[in-house]
Structure 1
Amino acid sequence: MGIKQRVQKGFTLIELMIVVAIIGILAAIAIPQYQDYVTKSKWGTNISDLAATKAAVALCLQNNAGDGTQCQTAAQLSITALPQPKYATAAIGVVGAAGKVTVTYTGTAEVGSYVYSADWAVDASGTKITFTPVAADTIPAKIAAATLR
């Protein structure tokens, strides 16, 4: 009679621990990146919710020779109401000044409670609106690049 060979049926404890450690490392890297991705996506929605207002502000600034004080209310902008971004805790605030309009609102806790605050102005050519974040703006660049606001 020959020697019987043992056939392995399953995994050893070390093998299982290695697999769990690998999954843990991958999760530690992936979860924060996924959360940033979701927040970035929701801030994209907030910013795109302002599209009609951006066009109205640009037109108002052009029609009023860059006088932002004439572009602070929905009526002055010729729109029915100032928008409420989907992930914002309060309606946008619009403050006009010479050559610009400053738009500000705070995101919900779901999107990090960051503050959007940017000066909107017509560029030198008079055909394009520019957006410049101001000191009150707290959105990190990894969430929304300054050029996209």
Structure 2
Amino acid sequence: MKKQQGFTLIELMIVIAILGILIAIALPAYQDYQVRTKATEGLNVAAAAKLAVAEAANDNGGVDKIKTADVAYKFTAGDTKYIDTIVIGDAGKITVTTRNTGATAPIVFELTPTTNTDRTAIDWACKGTGGDKPSQLPSSCRPKAT
């Protein structure tokens, strides 16, 4: 007599159930990762704006003396797929607004400059808002847990 080989129906159903559980856990995390990656482009594109703020701070004697008109920077919305606007305000504050990231609400970053204690460099603080949940924001811009 030949011995039958193969999987039983129960074994196949168990494997499919395990795969279903793993996919149910992994899919939301992957979607958050995609949104976060697209939004992080805003921080990378804002590097040029940071440089413009640093130059204006050097010319005007500090970041606290910067006015919007002092900064020579212009962002064109068509330059990137995921960034809607980059605006530099008074005191060198940079606001980055995203688009088409997959989040229901646009993700907005506020980069605030401060001169470090020995006045040799500018430190940047990032505050992010928008998106569907904090996990969609880059870790450097998420609200601090209390």
Give me the TM-score of the superposition, normalised by structure 2.
Answer: 0.74
How many residues align? The count is 133
* Closer/same/farther in 2, CA of residues 18 and 28 from structure 1, 3 Å limit: same
Residue 116 of structure 1 aligns to a residue whose secondary structure is strand
On the 8 A contact 2:39/2:101 being kept in 1, the answer is no
Matched-pair identity in %: 32
Q: Which residue of 85, 94, 101 corresponds with 1:103?
A: 94
Give 5+ residue unaligned stretches, structure 2.
Answer: none
Which 10-residue stretch deviates more, 18-27 or 125-134? Answer: 125-134
Q: CA deviation at 1:9?
A: 4.5
Residue 63 of structure 1 aligns to a residue whose secondary structure is helix
| Root mean square deviation of aligned Cα | 2.6
- The separation in 2 between residues aligned to 1:34 and 1:130, in whole angstroms, is 31
Which entry has the higher C-alpha Rg, 1 or 2?
A: 1
Task: Map 1:1-149 onto structure 2 (within 5 A).
Answer: 4-5=1-2, 7-66=3-62, 67-69=65-67, 72-73=68-69, 76-79=70-73, 81-82=74-75, 84=77, 86-89=81-84, 91-96=85-90, 100-112=91-103, 113-134=106-127, 137-138=128-129, 140=134, 143-146=137-140
On the 8 A contact 2:57/2:66 being kept in 1, the answer is yes
On the 8 A contact 1:46/1:86 being kept in 2, the answer is no
Give me the TM-score of the superposition, normalised by structure 1.
Answer: 0.72
- The separation in 2 between residues aligned to 1:27 and 1:129, in whole angstroms, is 44
Is the helix fraction higher in 1 or 2? 2
